[in-house]
Structure 1
Amino acid sequence: MGMPMELNTMIVTKGKETREEENIFRLSKEGYRLYPIDIPIDVRKTIQSDSSGTAVIQKVEWTSGETIITYQLLSLNSTN
Protein backbone atom coordinates (compact mmCIF):
# COMPACT_ATOMS: atom_id res chain seq x y z
CA MET A 1 0.00 0.00 0.00
CA GLY A 2 1.38 3.40 -0.97
CA MET A 3 1.61 6.54 1.09
CA PRO A 4 0.09 9.68 -0.50
CA MET A 5 2.65 12.47 -0.64
CA GLU A 6 2.73 16.01 -2.02
CA LEU A 7 5.85 17.87 -3.22
CA ASN A 8 5.89 21.56 -2.21
CA THR A 9 8.28 24.17 -3.61
CA MET A 10 7.07 27.08 -1.46
CA ILE A 11 5.82 27.57 2.09
CA VAL A 12 2.13 28.54 2.20
CA THR A 13 1.28 29.59 5.76
CA LYS A 14 -2.40 30.64 5.59
CA GLY A 15 -1.51 32.58 8.77
CA LYS A 16 -1.09 29.37 10.82
CA GLU A 17 2.65 29.61 11.49
CA THR A 18 3.93 29.97 15.06
CA ARG A 19 7.07 31.81 16.10
CA GLU A 20 9.56 29.61 17.97
CA GLU A 21 12.40 32.15 18.19
CA GLU A 22 13.17 35.53 16.61
CA ASN A 23 13.36 34.30 12.98
CA ILE A 24 12.43 30.64 13.49
CA PHE A 25 8.88 29.52 12.71
CA ARG A 26 6.96 26.25 12.88
CA LEU A 27 4.08 25.25 10.62
CA SER A 28 1.88 22.16 10.65
CA LYS A 29 0.23 21.00 7.41
CA GLU A 30 -2.29 18.20 6.92
CA GLY A 31 -1.00 15.17 5.03
CA TYR A 32 2.51 14.11 4.13
CA ARG A 33 4.50 16.73 2.24
CA LEU A 34 8.03 16.86 0.91
CA TYR A 35 9.94 20.17 1.00
CA PRO A 36 13.44 21.14 -0.14
CA ILE A 37 15.76 21.59 2.84
CA ASP A 38 18.67 24.04 3.22
CA ILE A 39 17.85 26.14 0.14
CA PRO A 40 15.94 29.47 0.07
CA ILE A 41 12.27 29.17 -0.97
CA ASP A 42 9.31 31.59 -1.11
CA VAL A 43 6.99 32.12 1.84
CA ARG A 44 3.40 33.12 0.98
CA LYS A 45 0.18 33.54 2.94
CA THR A 46 -1.79 31.84 0.13
CA ILE A 47 -0.79 30.13 -3.10
CA GLN A 48 -2.11 33.08 -5.14
CA SER A 49 -0.59 35.88 -3.00
CA ASP A 50 2.69 37.67 -3.63
CA SER A 51 5.77 36.41 -1.84
CA SER A 52 5.92 37.67 1.75
CA GLY A 53 9.54 36.59 2.22
CA THR A 54 12.22 33.97 1.80
CA ALA A 55 13.02 31.13 4.19
CA VAL A 56 15.17 28.04 4.58
CA ILE A 57 13.52 24.91 5.94
CA GLN A 58 15.65 23.40 8.67
CA LYS A 59 13.55 20.42 9.69
CA VAL A 60 10.68 18.32 8.28
CA GLU A 61 8.73 15.93 10.53
CA TRP A 62 6.07 13.43 9.42
CA THR A 63 3.76 12.10 12.10
CA SER A 64 0.17 10.87 12.34
CA GLY A 65 -0.87 12.09 8.90
CA GLU A 66 0.64 15.56 9.18
CA THR A 67 3.84 17.36 8.22
CA ILE A 68 5.52 19.79 10.60
CA ILE A 69 8.19 22.10 9.20
CA THR A 70 10.59 24.34 11.08
CA TYR A 71 11.99 27.17 8.99
CA GLN A 72 14.20 30.23 9.36
CA LEU A 73 12.91 33.43 7.80
CA LEU A 74 15.79 35.01 5.87
CA SER A 75 14.04 38.06 4.44
CA LEU A 76 10.65 39.69 4.81
CA ASN A 77 9.05 41.64 1.99
CA SER A 78 7.29 44.85 3.00
CA THR A 79 3.51 44.61 3.36
CA ASN A 80 3.04 48.34 2.65
Structure 2
Amino acid sequence: MGMPFELNTMIVTKGREKREKDNMFTLEKNGYRLYPIDIPLEVRHSIKSDYRATAIIKKVEWENEMTKILYQLTALHSSN
Protein backbone atom coordinates (compact mmCIF):
# COMPACT_ATOMS: atom_id res chain seq x y z
CA MET A 1 0.00 0.00 0.00
CA GLY A 2 1.43 3.37 -1.01
CA MET A 3 1.40 6.68 0.79
CA PRO A 4 -0.44 9.43 -1.13
CA PHE A 5 1.52 12.64 -1.44
CA GLU A 6 1.62 15.78 -3.55
CA LEU A 7 4.70 17.45 -5.06
CA ASN A 8 4.60 21.24 -4.65
CA THR A 9 6.91 23.75 -6.36
CA MET A 10 5.27 26.87 -4.94
CA ILE A 11 4.20 27.89 -1.43
CA VAL A 12 0.46 28.71 -1.33
CA THR A 13 -0.43 30.19 2.07
CA LYS A 14 -4.16 31.02 1.86
CA GLY A 15 -3.42 33.36 4.78
CA ARG A 16 -2.60 30.51 7.19
CA GLU A 17 1.13 31.21 7.59
CA LYS A 18 2.45 32.03 11.07
CA ARG A 19 5.44 34.28 11.68
CA GLU A 20 7.95 32.61 13.96
CA LYS A 21 10.55 35.39 14.09
CA ASP A 22 11.95 37.96 11.67
CA ASN A 23 11.54 36.48 8.18
CA MET A 24 10.85 32.89 9.31
CA PHE A 25 7.34 31.46 8.88
CA THR A 26 5.59 28.13 9.41
CA LEU A 27 2.71 26.77 7.39
CA GLU A 28 0.66 23.62 7.97
CA LYS A 29 -1.07 21.90 5.06
CA ASN A 30 -3.43 18.92 5.00
CA GLY A 31 -2.01 15.72 3.56
CA TYR A 32 1.55 14.74 2.80
CA ARG A 33 3.35 17.19 0.52
CA LEU A 34 6.86 17.15 -0.82
CA TYR A 35 8.65 20.49 -1.27
CA PRO A 36 12.15 21.24 -2.57
CA ILE A 37 14.45 22.44 0.21
CA ASP A 38 17.11 25.18 0.01
CA ILE A 39 16.05 26.61 -3.36
CA PRO A 40 14.00 29.78 -4.01
CA LEU A 41 10.25 29.22 -4.46
CA GLU A 42 7.37 31.55 -5.23
CA VAL A 43 5.04 32.45 -2.35
CA ARG A 44 1.41 33.20 -3.26
CA HIS A 45 -1.79 33.71 -1.30
CA SER A 46 -3.66 31.40 -3.71
CA ILE A 47 -2.69 29.50 -6.83
CA LYS A 48 -4.23 32.19 -9.05
CA SER A 49 -3.02 35.23 -7.11
CA ASP A 50 -0.03 37.38 -8.03
CA TYR A 51 3.50 36.35 -7.13
CA ARG A 52 4.00 37.95 -3.65
CA ALA A 53 7.39 36.84 -2.41
CA THR A 54 10.31 34.48 -2.72
CA ALA A 55 11.17 32.04 0.05
CA ILE A 56 13.49 29.17 0.84
CA ILE A 57 12.13 26.17 2.72
CA LYS A 58 14.40 25.16 5.57
CA LYS A 59 12.45 22.25 7.07
CA VAL A 60 9.60 19.87 6.11
CA GLU A 61 7.82 17.67 8.68
CA TRP A 62 5.20 14.99 8.04
CA GLU A 63 2.97 13.82 10.87
CA ASN A 64 -0.66 12.71 11.29
CA GLU A 65 -1.51 13.29 7.62
CA MET A 66 -0.25 16.89 7.86
CA THR A 67 2.77 18.65 6.37
CA LYS A 68 4.45 21.47 8.25
CA ILE A 69 7.05 23.65 6.54
CA LEU A 70 9.43 26.22 7.96
CA TYR A 71 10.48 28.80 5.39
CA GLN A 72 12.44 32.03 5.20
CA LEU A 73 11.27 34.96 3.09
CA THR A 74 14.16 36.22 0.97
CA ALA A 75 12.34 38.84 -1.15
CA LEU A 76 8.96 40.58 -0.87
CA HIS A 77 7.27 41.63 -4.11
CA SER A 78 4.00 42.92 -2.65
CA SER A 79 2.94 44.41 0.68
CA ASN A 80 -0.15 42.16 0.88
TM-score normalized with structure 1 length: 0.97
Aligned length: 80
Per-residue deviation at 1:46?
Answer: 0.0
Residue of structure 1 equivalent to 2:16: 16
Distance in 2 (alpha carbons) for counterparts of 1:21 and 1:79: 18
Distance in 2 (alpha carbons) for counterparts of 1:19 and 1:2: 34
Residue of structure 1 equivalent to 2:26: 26
Distance in 1 (alpha carbons) for counterparts of 2:58 and 2:78: 24
**1:25-52 CA deviation, whole Å, 9 max, x = no partner?**
0000000000000000000000001111
Residue of structure 2 equivalent to 1:45: 45
Please tell me whether residue 59 in structure 1 is matched to residue 59 in structure 2: yes
Per-residue deviation at 1:79?
Answer: 3.8
Distance in 1 (alpha carbons) for counterparts of 2:29 and 2:4: 14
- Percent sequence identity over matched residues? 64
Amino acid at match of 2:68: I
Alignment RMSD (CA, Å): 1.0
For structure 2, list consecutive stretches of 5 or more residues without a partner in the other structure: none
Per-residue deviation at 1:78?
Answer: 2.4
